Amino acid sequence: MQALIESVGSLSAQQKKALAVMLKQQGINLFEIAPVFKRQDGEPLRLSYAQERQWFLWQLEPQSPAYNLPRALRLKGRLDRVALQRSFDSLLARHESLRTHLHQDAEQVLQVIDPVVRVEIAHENGDPEQLEALVQAEVAKPFDLQQGPLLRVKLLQLAPDEHVLVLVLHHIVSDGWSMQVMVDELVQCYVAYSQGQEARLPALAIQYPDYALWQRSWMEAGEKERQLEYWREQLGGEQPVLELPLDHPRPAVQSYRGARLDMGLEATLVTGLKALAQREGVTLFMLLLASF
């Protein structure tokens, strides 16, 4: 079986799908044990299912910033702008997602990865008293998913030795986890370049489009039907809309103007909730939603 798994990497997407179907008929699900392989040159770069959802939502509301992912970093001390620009250049060269935009033809939507992209760092002098408003204004700008890159960078200078670096990515090319990876790598690159050294980041075995193709092959080989059947059995028939006790009626079209109220829980209560969730086989989110 190990030799079979290793040989799959040299197959085309169509051959991988045919192999998976054959093995499924024999009760073997190759994609539960096989790693994600680097794609073959020339394969159409189909969207992952998560990206497909984001594309659908963007088409409904192309001016909405609801799926913009922001991160603001406060920088103190002398700033080496050349090293900062070089750090972003390295990140875009390293990660295909940061050089991705979407293209729709008559049949489907595909990812397009530009070979070279340079994100320009916009600069603006900022009033510390207006910092939150300046950051929010940058976050609120919409992205055009058919244009790239889907990353914006703005440097707000509050003082000669104090800056705020604002990063905004669209959710179709990033999430909370990968945003943190990007920030960590940005810091590593900047530290190296500002000291006249080379950044040493480990090579990437695969990129996100490789995963997207793997996921599609896996699902289209029969896994989609198996998972749908599982959730039909778990959830039963039609599911009602979640009706929370809100202080205003639900609007026909979301405005995203809601506020957020943070509530802190004592450590002992959190520990007890986590233990209860584990005993009941549910997530902490499910437990808190049910109790609410």
Provide DSSP, 226-263. HHHHHHHHHH-SPPPP-----SSPPPSS----------
Pairing of strands 162-170, 68-76: antiparallel
pLDDT digits (tens, 9 = 90+) for 109-141: 999 999 999 999 999 998 989 999 999 999 999
Please, are residues 193 and 86 in contact by the beta-carbon 8 Å criterion? yes
What pLDDT does residue 279 have?
97
Q: What is the DSSP string of 140-151?
A: TS---TTSS--E
Query: In the 8-state DSSP scheme, what is residue 66?
Result: T
What are 73's strand-pairing partners? 165
Q: In angstroms, rounded to a whole number, what is the distance separating the alpha carbons of residues 63 and 235?
A: 34
Confidence of residue 3 (pLDDT cuts 50, 70, 90): very low
Q: In angstroms, rounded to a whole number, what is the distance separating the alpha carbons of residues 34 and 215?
A: 12
Please, are residues 256 and 66 in contact by the beta-carbon 8 Å criterion? yes
Q: Which residues, 6+ apart, have CB-to-CB distance to 257 below 8 Å?
A: none
pLDDT digits (tens, 9 = 90+) for 40-70: 888 899 999 999 999 999 999 999 999 999 9
Q: What six digits make up the tokens of 258?
A: 């809601």
The predicted model scores a pTM of 0.80
3-state SS, residue 167: strand
Q: What are phi and psi of 208, to 5 degrees?
A: -60, -40
Identify the residue with better confidence: 118 or 29.
118
Q: Which residues, 6+ apart, have CB-to-CB distance to 220 below 8 Å?
A: 17
Q: In angstroms, rounded to a whole number, what is the distance separating the alpha carbons of residues 58 and 98?
A: 18
Given a cut of 70, whether residue 20 has pLDDT beyond it is no
In this prediction, residues 241-249 reach a mean pLDDT of 80
H or E segment and range at residue 159: strand 151-159
Q: What six digits make up the tokens of 189?
A: 């690159």
